[in-house]
Amino acid sequence: MNGRRPISAALLGAALLLVTACGGGGGAGDDGKGKSDKAEANKPSQAVVTVAPKDGADAVATSGALKITADKGKLTEVKVADSKGNPVEGDITGGTSWTPAHHLAASTKYKVHAVAKDKDGRESAKDSTFTTLTPKNTFVGTFTPEDGSKVGVGMPFSIRFTRGITHPEDVVKAITVKTEPAVAVEPHWFGNDRIDFRPEKYWASGTEVTVKLNLDGVEGRPGVYGKQVRTVKFTIGRSQVSTVDAKTHMMTVERDGKTLKKIPVTTGKPGYETWEGQMVMSEKLTVTRMNGETVGYGGEYDIKDVPHAIRLTNSGTFIHGNYWGGDAFGNYNASHGCVGLRDVRGGYDSKISAAWFFNQSMIGDVVIVKNTHDKTVAADNGFNGWNMSWADWTK
């Protein structure tokens, strides 16, 4: 005997009954809500996510093909990225539709992850991949100024395309121009293969300009796609604007709004008048050859060693050193349309007018010519869009 009192069968039975009642056990008192709640919690989401194009698709168009939608629910998350992890920006519209903010790159594999919730908060996800088309025909743009350059206040950002563009709006959307300090910059097309960007007035000195070319995958014309992704940065230098008066035969050089120097010049003689208007320096040549045949003047002249030449138009207008002009400078107009400054053959004298002006000038500086009685230079003849009103530029 261990001294403990034995438990009666009646007490043991009562204890078991109490345990059974407390445990729930599915007896007569169970209303079934436990099972119902669990089943409801495990019910799949009613939201359905659809991704176009279909999973694994190839040769997908770079524009208009990608769209993500949700039915019986709202999109809560959309991630699209290329194989390097670069994201594609986009917007959810009305909670049920997502489209990319811009075109996609060509020959690129993309991954899609999208999530939607139904009215009860249950989530449904969709993951897929697709690859964009590989174009048979492409175009690129050559641009001015170059990355990292410093230019004068008149220099636009100009792009010349290797193929004529018939979808200009799509190309413009793929080019962004930002400045510091901020200023409105607008594009203008010259024909179908050139676009220039500029502000309403000359750039402010010190402005930092950043241009992003996101042309890869842009369909510039049917079946012809861009293939460039570039960021170009350039800086606007000090302000230099020079005014040539063909009547007085003088040029006034202004630096940051103050007169720096006045220089005697000669401009185009009767029948060969110099264009009027605002012209932007686009090229500087220490010495160059000038042949009348290249500008439609036959064999009237062929000078193989023109010193200190600065190009103002594509058609052949320069402001340059002139060692053969005699006493024309400051007295009368004797050139075939260029602006001539006194110089010496070989250009060795750094103190003479042409050398001084050449050394003080940079690409993008402005030369304004007036009182020649000729017509205004065409806006696309060089970088001379400043001769257009802002209203015409932005049409």
Give per-residue pLDDT as tens, 266-295: 999 999 999 999 999 999 999 999 987 777
Q: Report if residue 28 sits inside a domain.
A: no
Domain-terminating residue out of 132, 161, 193: 132
Residue 41 belongs to a domain? no
Torsion sign over Cα 317, 322, 324, 326: positive
Mean pLDDT of 303-309: 96
- Residue 15 pLDDT exceeds 60: no
- Mean pLDDT on 167-189: 98
Per-residue model confidence as pLDDT tens digits over 87-122 = 999 999 999 999 999 999 999 999 999 999 999 999
pLDDT in tens, 118-159: 999 999 999 999 999 999 999 999 999 999 999 999 999 999
Which residues in 9-24 are b (16+ Cβ under 10 Å) and which e? eeeeeeeeeeeeeeee
Query: Residue 206: which of 153, 260, 259, 143 has the closest Cα?
Result: 153
The boundaries of the domain holding residue 114 are 48-132
> Do residues 227 and 353 both lie within one domain?
no
Contact of 395 with 300, CB cutoff 8 Å: no
pLDDT for residue 327 is more than 50? yes
Q: Is the pLDDT of residue 24 over 60?
A: no
Residue 17: its pLDDT value, please? 38
Percent of the chain clearing pLDDT 90 (strictly above)? 86
Q: What pLDDT is attached to residue 192?
A: 98
- Scored b (16 or more CB within 10 A) or e, 279-305 reads bbbbebeeebebeeeebeeeeeeeeee
Q: Cα separation of 51 and 114, whole Å?
A: 8
Q: Please give the structure tokens belonging to residue 246.
A: 């063909």
Overall average pLDDT of the 254-271 stretch: 97
State the pLDDT at residue 32: 55
Cis amide bond preceding 181, omega within 30: yes
What does the pLDDT look like over 229-246, one tens digit per residue?
A: 999 999 999 999 999 999
pLDDT over threshold 60, residue 354: yes
Task: Tell whether the model's pLDDT for residue 353 goes beyond 70.
Answer: yes
Please state the pTM of the whole predicted model: 0.85
Per-residue pLDDT, averaged over 21-40, amounts to 51
Structure tokens at 219: 């369909």
Token pair of 239, please?
């302000």
The pLDDT value given to residue 302? 86
The Cα-based distances of 2 to 5, 9, 10 in angstroms read 9, 19, 22
Question: Encoding tokens for residue 17?
Answer: 């009954």
| Whether the predicted pLDDT of 5 surpasses 70 | no
Residues 188/380, Cβ–Cβ less than 8 Å: no
Please tell me whether residues 57 and 190 are part of one structural domain: no
Q: Say what the pLDDT of residue 40 is.
A: 62
Total domains in the chain come to 3
Closest CA to 98 of 45, 52, 48: 52
**Averaged pLDDT score across all residues of the chain:** 91
Residue 252, phi then psi, degrees to nearest 5: -105, 120
The answer to whether residue 33 sits within a structural domain is: no
Indicate whether 220 and 283 sit together in one domain.
Answer: no
Strand-pair partners of 265: 341
- Check residue 295 and give its pLDDT: 73
Provide the pLDDT confidence category of residue 23 given band limits of 50, 70 and 90. Answer: very low
Active site residue 102: no
CATH number of the domain that residue 231 is part of: 2.60.40.3710
From 88, 117, 132, the end of a domain falls on 132
> CA 13, 14, 19, 23: dihedral to nearest 10 degrees?
100
pLDDT of residue 42: 76
Task: Select from 97, 132, 167 the last residue of a domain.
Answer: 132
Q: What is the pLDDT of residue 33?
A: 57
Mean pLDDT in residue range 311-334: 97
Residue 167 annotated as catalytic: no
CATH no. for residue 317? 2.40.440.10
Out of 249, 308, 320, 336, pick the active-site residue. Answer: 320
Q: Are residues 250 and 207 in the same domain?
A: no
* Within-domain flag for 155: yes
Residue of 188, 308, 336, 338 with catalytic role: 338
Do residues 375 and 279 both lie within one domain?
yes
Q: Who wins on pLDDT, 123 or 13?
A: 123
37 in a structural domain: no
